[in-house]
Amino acid sequence: MDGGQTRTVGRLTEPSRPLGGSNREVPSASNVNRISRTTVRGVSEASAESHAGTNVFPDRPPFEMVPRPGVGRVFTGERRVRLGDVDPSGRLRFDALTRYTQDVSNDDTTDVGLADDLAFVVRRTTVDTHQAAIFGEDLIIATFCGRLGRRWAERRLIVTGSLGARYDVATLWVHIDVDSGRPRALNDDFLRHYGEAAQGLTVSARHQLRAPDQVGVEAVREPWPLRSVDFDTFGHMNNAAYWAVIEEHLSRQSATDPSRITIEYGAGIAPEDVVAIAFAGRRRADGEDQEDLLWWEVDGQPAASAAIESLPDGGLMNTTSR
Protein backbone atom coordinates (compact mmCIF):
# COMPACT_ATOMS: atom_id res chain seq x y z
CA MET A 1 0.00 0.00 0.00
CA ASP A 2 1.35 3.42 -0.92
CA GLY A 3 2.10 5.98 1.79
CA GLY A 4 -1.00 7.93 2.79
CA GLN A 5 -3.45 5.36 1.41
CA THR A 6 -6.26 4.36 3.78
CA ARG A 7 -8.48 1.31 4.23
CA THR A 8 -11.67 0.93 6.22
CA VAL A 9 -13.27 -2.04 7.95
CA GLY A 10 -16.99 -2.54 8.58
CA ARG A 11 -20.08 -0.33 8.36
CA LEU A 12 -21.51 1.71 11.24
CA THR A 13 -24.70 3.51 12.38
CA GLU A 14 -25.83 6.24 14.77
CA PRO A 15 -27.36 6.17 18.27
CA SER A 16 -30.48 7.91 19.64
CA ARG A 17 -30.84 8.92 23.35
CA PRO A 18 -29.02 11.27 25.79
CA LEU A 19 -26.27 10.05 28.13
CA GLY A 20 -26.29 11.82 31.51
CA GLY A 21 -25.87 15.56 31.14
CA SER A 22 -24.46 15.31 27.62
CA ASN A 23 -26.40 16.58 24.63
CA ARG A 24 -25.16 13.59 22.65
CA GLU A 25 -27.73 10.86 21.95
CA VAL A 26 -27.36 7.20 22.98
CA PRO A 27 -29.67 4.22 23.41
CA SER A 28 -30.15 2.74 26.85
CA ALA A 29 -27.36 0.38 27.92
CA SER A 30 -27.85 -2.56 30.28
CA ASN A 31 -25.56 -3.12 33.24
CA VAL A 32 -22.11 -4.49 32.51
CA ASN A 33 -20.71 -7.02 35.00
CA ARG A 34 -17.97 -5.55 37.15
CA ILE A 35 -15.65 -7.18 39.71
CA SER A 36 -16.75 -5.82 43.06
CA ARG A 37 -14.33 -5.24 45.94
CA THR A 38 -14.04 -3.03 49.01
CA THR A 39 -13.10 0.50 48.02
CA VAL A 40 -9.58 1.31 49.15
CA ARG A 41 -7.47 4.19 48.00
CA GLY A 42 -4.40 5.78 49.50
CA VAL A 43 -3.65 9.44 48.89
CA SER A 44 -0.49 11.16 50.02
CA GLU A 45 0.90 14.61 49.39
CA ALA A 46 4.13 14.83 47.43
CA SER A 47 6.08 17.85 46.38
CA ALA A 48 6.02 18.27 42.59
CA GLU A 49 6.56 21.12 40.19
CA SER A 50 4.69 21.98 37.03
CA HIS A 51 6.51 21.85 33.71
CA ALA A 52 5.95 24.72 31.21
CA GLY A 53 2.26 24.31 30.53
CA THR A 54 1.98 20.59 31.38
CA ASN A 55 1.01 18.56 34.44
CA VAL A 56 4.25 16.60 34.46
CA PHE A 57 5.71 15.40 37.74
CA PRO A 58 9.48 15.82 38.25
CA ASP A 59 10.32 12.10 38.26
CA ARG A 60 8.76 11.65 34.81
CA PRO A 61 9.81 13.38 31.58
CA PRO A 62 7.22 15.49 29.73
CA PHE A 63 5.45 13.81 26.83
CA GLU A 64 3.67 15.23 23.80
CA MET A 65 1.57 13.43 21.22
CA VAL A 66 2.97 13.52 17.68
CA PRO A 67 0.41 14.95 15.22
CA ARG A 68 -0.66 13.13 12.07
CA PRO A 69 2.10 13.32 9.43
CA GLY A 70 1.72 14.95 6.04
CA VAL A 71 3.83 12.22 4.43
CA GLY A 72 4.27 8.51 4.90
CA ARG A 73 1.93 5.63 5.60
CA VAL A 74 -1.35 6.21 7.44
CA PHE A 75 -3.71 3.24 7.80
CA THR A 76 -7.37 3.70 8.74
CA GLY A 77 -9.97 1.33 10.19
CA GLU A 78 -13.51 1.73 11.51
CA ARG A 79 -15.38 0.34 14.49
CA ARG A 80 -18.80 0.77 16.08
CA VAL A 81 -19.04 0.98 19.87
CA ARG A 82 -21.04 -2.11 20.84
CA LEU A 83 -23.05 -2.91 23.98
CA GLY A 84 -20.40 -5.32 25.28
CA ASP A 85 -17.75 -2.58 25.07
CA VAL A 86 -19.32 0.06 27.34
CA ASP A 87 -19.74 0.64 31.06
CA PRO A 88 -23.21 1.03 32.67
CA SER A 89 -23.30 4.72 31.70
CA GLY A 90 -22.69 3.92 28.03
CA ARG A 91 -19.05 5.12 27.95
CA LEU A 92 -16.57 3.11 25.88
CA ARG A 93 -14.38 1.16 28.32
CA PHE A 94 -10.61 1.47 28.02
CA ASP A 95 -10.11 -2.28 27.67
CA ALA A 96 -12.44 -2.23 24.66
CA LEU A 97 -10.69 0.82 23.19
CA THR A 98 -7.39 -1.05 23.55
CA ARG A 99 -8.79 -4.04 21.66
CA TYR A 100 -9.97 -1.72 18.88
CA THR A 101 -6.57 -0.10 18.53
CA GLN A 102 -4.73 -3.44 18.72
CA ASP A 103 -6.94 -4.89 16.00
CA VAL A 104 -6.44 -1.94 13.66
CA SER A 105 -2.69 -2.05 14.35
CA ASN A 106 -2.62 -5.74 13.42
CA ASP A 107 -4.71 -5.03 10.31
CA ASP A 108 -2.08 -2.45 9.35
CA THR A 109 0.91 -4.80 9.63
CA THR A 110 -1.05 -7.58 7.88
CA ASP A 111 -1.90 -5.19 5.06
CA VAL A 112 1.76 -4.39 4.38
CA GLY A 113 2.76 -8.05 4.76
CA LEU A 114 5.23 -7.43 7.57
CA ALA A 115 7.14 -10.71 7.88
CA ASP A 116 7.53 -10.66 11.70
CA ASP A 117 4.52 -8.64 12.80
CA LEU A 118 4.19 -10.76 15.98
CA ALA A 119 7.81 -10.07 17.03
CA PHE A 120 6.84 -6.94 18.97
CA VAL A 121 5.93 -6.45 22.63
CA VAL A 122 4.33 -3.37 24.15
CA ARG A 123 6.45 -1.41 26.63
CA ARG A 124 4.14 1.57 27.23
CA THR A 125 0.74 2.93 26.19
CA THR A 126 -0.54 6.46 26.74
CA VAL A 127 -4.19 7.34 26.09
CA ASP A 128 -5.33 10.96 25.98
CA THR A 129 -9.12 11.20 26.24
CA HIS A 130 -10.44 14.51 24.92
CA GLN A 131 -14.03 13.25 24.74
CA ALA A 132 -15.06 9.68 25.49
CA ALA A 133 -16.91 7.59 22.91
CA ILE A 134 -20.38 6.28 23.75
CA PHE A 135 -22.59 3.32 22.88
CA GLY A 136 -23.46 3.22 19.18
CA GLU A 137 -20.92 5.84 18.12
CA ASP A 138 -19.01 5.33 14.85
CA LEU A 139 -15.24 5.49 15.26
CA ILE A 140 -12.50 6.10 12.71
CA ILE A 141 -9.05 4.92 13.83
CA ALA A 142 -6.04 6.27 11.95
CA THR A 143 -2.61 4.84 12.75
CA PHE A 144 0.95 5.72 11.74
CA CYS A 145 4.51 5.59 13.05
CA GLY A 146 5.15 8.52 15.39
CA ARG A 147 8.78 8.05 16.47
CA LEU A 148 11.59 5.54 16.05
CA GLY A 149 14.42 4.03 18.07
CA ARG A 150 17.00 1.44 17.04
CA ARG A 151 15.02 -1.49 18.42
CA TRP A 152 11.58 -0.01 19.05
CA ALA A 153 8.98 2.27 17.50
CA GLU A 154 6.05 4.36 18.65
CA ARG A 155 2.73 3.60 17.01
CA ARG A 156 0.36 6.56 17.09
CA LEU A 157 -3.39 6.20 16.78
CA ILE A 158 -5.98 8.95 16.45
CA VAL A 159 -9.53 7.86 17.25
CA THR A 160 -12.40 10.17 16.24
CA GLY A 161 -16.13 9.58 16.58
CA SER A 162 -19.28 10.60 14.73
CA LEU A 163 -20.61 12.20 17.95
CA GLY A 164 -17.44 14.05 18.87
CA ALA A 165 -15.31 11.37 20.55
CA ARG A 166 -11.56 11.96 20.38
CA TYR A 167 -8.65 9.89 21.70
CA ASP A 168 -4.95 10.19 21.03
CA VAL A 169 -3.01 6.99 21.68
CA ALA A 170 0.74 6.37 21.65
CA THR A 171 2.05 2.83 22.08
CA LEU A 172 5.73 1.98 22.31
CA TRP A 173 6.48 -1.39 20.68
CA VAL A 174 9.82 -3.15 21.22
CA HIS A 175 11.08 -5.37 18.40
CA ILE A 176 12.29 -8.71 19.80
CA ASP A 177 14.02 -11.86 18.65
CA VAL A 178 11.34 -14.54 19.03
CA ASP A 179 13.89 -17.20 19.99
CA SER A 180 15.87 -15.30 22.62
CA GLY A 181 13.23 -12.75 23.63
CA ARG A 182 15.85 -10.00 23.49
CA PRO A 183 15.33 -6.68 21.66
CA ARG A 184 16.73 -6.53 18.15
CA ALA A 185 17.17 -3.78 15.58
CA LEU A 186 14.27 -2.73 13.36
CA ASN A 187 14.82 -4.23 9.93
CA ASP A 188 14.75 -2.62 6.49
CA ASP A 189 11.30 -4.07 5.77
CA PHE A 190 9.83 -2.22 8.75
CA LEU A 191 11.61 1.04 8.00
CA ARG A 192 10.59 0.93 4.34
CA HIS A 193 6.92 0.93 5.31
CA TYR A 194 6.93 3.07 8.44
CA GLY A 195 10.10 5.16 8.57
CA GLU A 196 8.94 8.05 6.41
CA ALA A 197 5.98 8.97 8.64
CA ALA A 198 8.27 9.35 11.68
CA GLN A 199 10.23 12.09 9.87
CA GLY A 200 13.33 11.61 11.99
CA LEU A 201 11.62 11.86 15.39
CA THR A 202 13.06 9.53 18.04
CA VAL A 203 11.74 7.92 21.23
CA SER A 204 13.31 6.36 24.32
CA ALA A 205 12.27 2.94 25.63
CA ARG A 206 13.32 3.66 29.21
CA HIS A 207 10.76 3.03 31.91
CA GLN A 208 9.12 6.27 33.06
CA LEU A 209 6.83 5.11 35.89
CA ARG A 210 8.57 4.17 39.11
CA ALA A 211 7.81 1.89 42.05
CA PRO A 212 5.98 3.24 45.14
CA ASP A 213 9.15 3.54 47.22
CA GLN A 214 10.82 5.52 44.41
CA VAL A 215 8.11 8.19 44.19
CA GLY A 216 7.65 8.71 47.93
CA VAL A 217 4.01 7.67 48.32
CA GLU A 218 2.17 5.37 50.71
CA ALA A 219 0.31 2.76 48.66
CA VAL A 220 -2.76 0.77 49.73
CA ARG A 221 -3.00 -2.77 48.37
CA GLU A 222 -5.80 -5.18 47.53
CA PRO A 223 -5.83 -8.57 45.78
CA TRP A 224 -6.71 -8.78 42.09
CA PRO A 225 -8.04 -12.18 40.92
CA LEU A 226 -6.86 -13.35 37.50
CA ARG A 227 -9.25 -14.93 34.97
CA SER A 228 -8.52 -17.36 32.16
CA VAL A 229 -9.95 -14.84 29.68
CA ASP A 230 -7.16 -12.40 30.63
CA PHE A 231 -4.50 -14.50 28.85
CA ASP A 232 -3.48 -14.82 25.21
CA THR A 233 -2.08 -17.71 23.18
CA PHE A 234 1.42 -16.96 24.49
CA GLY A 235 0.31 -17.50 28.10
CA HIS A 236 0.75 -13.80 28.89
CA MET A 237 -1.82 -11.43 30.30
CA ASN A 238 -3.16 -9.53 27.29
CA ASN A 239 -2.50 -5.80 27.19
CA ALA A 240 -6.22 -5.04 27.12
CA ALA A 241 -6.80 -7.00 30.36
CA TYR A 242 -4.66 -4.55 32.35
CA TRP A 243 -7.19 -1.83 31.56
CA ALA A 244 -9.85 -3.66 33.59
CA VAL A 245 -7.96 -2.44 36.68
CA ILE A 246 -8.14 1.12 35.34
CA GLU A 247 -11.88 0.75 34.78
CA GLU A 248 -12.41 -0.54 38.32
CA HIS A 249 -10.43 2.38 39.70
CA LEU A 250 -12.33 4.94 37.59
CA SER A 251 -15.67 3.49 38.73
CA ARG A 252 -14.79 4.73 42.25
CA GLN A 253 -13.93 8.24 41.10
CA SER A 254 -15.80 11.19 39.64
CA ALA A 255 -13.31 11.50 36.78
CA THR A 256 -14.29 13.48 33.71
CA ASP A 257 -12.78 14.20 30.31
CA PRO A 258 -10.15 15.20 29.43
CA SER A 259 -7.60 12.86 30.98
CA ARG A 260 -4.27 11.15 30.29
CA ILE A 261 -3.67 7.53 31.32
CA THR A 262 -0.34 5.77 30.89
CA ILE A 263 0.30 2.06 31.46
CA GLU A 264 3.87 0.78 31.44
CA TYR A 265 4.35 -2.96 31.11
CA GLY A 266 7.21 -4.74 32.85
CA ALA A 267 8.00 -8.44 33.23
CA GLY A 268 4.41 -9.43 32.51
CA ILE A 269 1.89 -11.52 34.43
CA ALA A 270 1.48 -15.30 34.10
CA PRO A 271 -1.66 -17.35 34.89
CA GLU A 272 -0.14 -18.79 38.08
CA ASP A 273 0.87 -15.39 39.51
CA VAL A 274 -0.76 -13.94 42.61
CA VAL A 275 -1.44 -10.27 41.89
CA ALA A 276 -2.06 -7.33 44.21
CA ILE A 277 -3.02 -3.85 43.02
CA ALA A 278 -1.33 -0.98 44.84
CA PHE A 279 -3.06 2.44 44.79
CA ALA A 280 -1.69 5.84 45.72
CA GLY A 281 -2.19 9.48 44.81
CA ARG A 282 -0.21 12.67 44.92
CA ARG A 283 -0.71 16.35 44.15
CA ARG A 284 1.46 18.98 42.60
CA ALA A 285 3.01 21.43 45.02
CA ASP A 286 0.47 24.08 43.96
CA GLY A 287 -2.39 21.69 44.78
CA GLU A 288 -3.99 22.26 41.39
CA ASP A 289 -3.90 18.74 39.97
CA GLN A 290 -3.63 15.21 41.28
CA GLU A 291 -2.43 12.06 39.60
CA ASP A 292 -3.46 8.59 40.68
CA LEU A 293 -0.80 5.88 40.60
CA LEU A 294 -1.44 2.14 40.31
CA TRP A 295 0.86 -0.89 40.30
CA TRP A 296 0.24 -4.55 39.42
CA GLU A 297 2.47 -6.33 41.96
CA VAL A 298 3.69 -9.93 41.86
CA ASP A 299 5.74 -11.11 44.86
CA GLY A 300 5.88 -7.50 46.04
CA GLN A 301 7.45 -6.23 42.81
CA PRO A 302 5.72 -4.13 40.12
CA ALA A 303 4.89 -6.15 37.00
CA ALA A 304 3.20 -3.09 35.47
CA SER A 305 2.52 0.53 36.47
CA ALA A 306 -0.05 3.19 35.61
CA ALA A 307 -0.57 6.92 36.07
CA ILE A 308 -3.89 8.77 35.67
CA GLU A 309 -3.78 12.55 35.41
CA SER A 310 -5.57 15.50 33.91
CA LEU A 311 -4.70 16.12 30.28
CA PRO A 312 -1.89 18.67 29.81
CA ASP A 313 -3.11 22.03 28.52
CA GLY A 314 -6.71 21.05 29.19
CA GLY A 315 -6.82 18.77 26.18
CA LEU A 316 -5.86 21.39 23.62
CA MET A 317 -3.15 20.36 21.22
CA ASN A 318 -1.81 21.03 17.75
CA THR A 319 -3.32 18.39 15.51
CA THR A 320 -2.33 19.85 12.16
CA SER A 321 -0.37 17.59 9.83
CA ARG A 322 3.39 17.74 10.06
Do 14 and 128 lie in one domain? The reply is yes
Question: Which residues share a beta bridge with 142?
Answer: 76, 158
**H or E element that contains 97:** helix 94-112
pTM of the predicted structure, to 2 decimals: 0.79
Q: Are 132 and 165 in contact (CB under 8 A)?
A: yes
Average pLDDT over residues 164-189: 92
Same-domain status, 47 and 91:
no
Same-domain status, 10 and 51? no
Instruction: Verify that 55 and 111 share a domain, yes or no.
Output: no
pLDDT on residue 44: 26
Q: How far apart (Å, rounded) are the C-alpha atoms in residues 55 and 258?
A: 13
Tell me: the pLDDT tens digits for 26-76? 333 333 222 222 222 222 222 222 222 344 456 677 889 999 999 999 999
Domain boundary among 166, 187, 206: 206
Domain count, the chain: 2
Single out the residue of 146, 162, 226 nearest to residue 194, CA to CA: 146
What pLDDT, in 10s, does the model give residues 254-296? 666 689 999 999 988 999 999 999 999 887 655 666 789 999 9
For 86-186, strand residue ranges (E) read 120-131, 138-148, 152-161, 166-175
Same domain, 16 and 49: no
Alpha-helix runs per DSSP H in 113-215: 188-198, 212-215
Q: Closest Cα partner for 24 from 166, 162, 167?
A: 162
Q: What is the DSSP string of 283-321?
A: E-TTSS-EEEEEEEEETTEEEEEEEEEEPGGGG----S-
Q: What is the per-residue pLDDT for 254? A: 66
Chain segment 211-260, per-residue pLDDT in tens: 888 887 889 999 999 999 999 888 889 989 999 999 999 988 766 668 99
User: Do residue 72 and residue 54 come from a single domain?
Assistant: no
Last residue of a domain, one of 187, 206, 225: 206
Confidence of residue 319 (pLDDT cuts 50, 70, 90): very low
Residues 136 and 278 in one domain: no
Q: What is the DSSP string of 209-266?
A: S--HHHHT---EEEEE---GGGB-TTSSB-HHHHHHHHHHHHTTS---SSEEEEEEE-
122 C-beta neighbours (distance < 10 Å), count: 18
Instruction: Compute the distance between CA of residue 39 and CA of residue 174 in angstroms, rounded to an integer.
Output: 35
Same domain (yes/no): 75, 224: no
- 195: helix, coil or strand? helix
Give me the mean pLDDT over the 136-151 stretch.
Answer: 97
Q: Which of 206, 172, 164, 138 is nearest to 66 (CA)?
A: 172
Instruction: Kindly report, residue by residue over 162-175, the tens digit of the pLDDT.
Output: 999 999 999 999 99
Asked if residue 174 and residue 233 are part of one domain, the reply reads no
Q: Are residues 195 and 247 in the same domain?
A: no
Boundary (domain end) residue, out of 206, 221, 237: 206
Range of the domain at 144: 1-30+64-206
What's 254's domain CATH number? 3.10.129.10
The strands making up 301-310's β-sheet, listed across from edge to edge, are 75-80, 138-148, 152-161, 166-175, 120-131, 259-265, 301-310, 290-298, 275-283, 220-224
Residues 99 and 153 in one domain: yes
The greatest distance separating any two alpha carbons of the chain, rounded to the nearest whole angstrom, comes to 53
Domain identity same for 222 and 269: yes
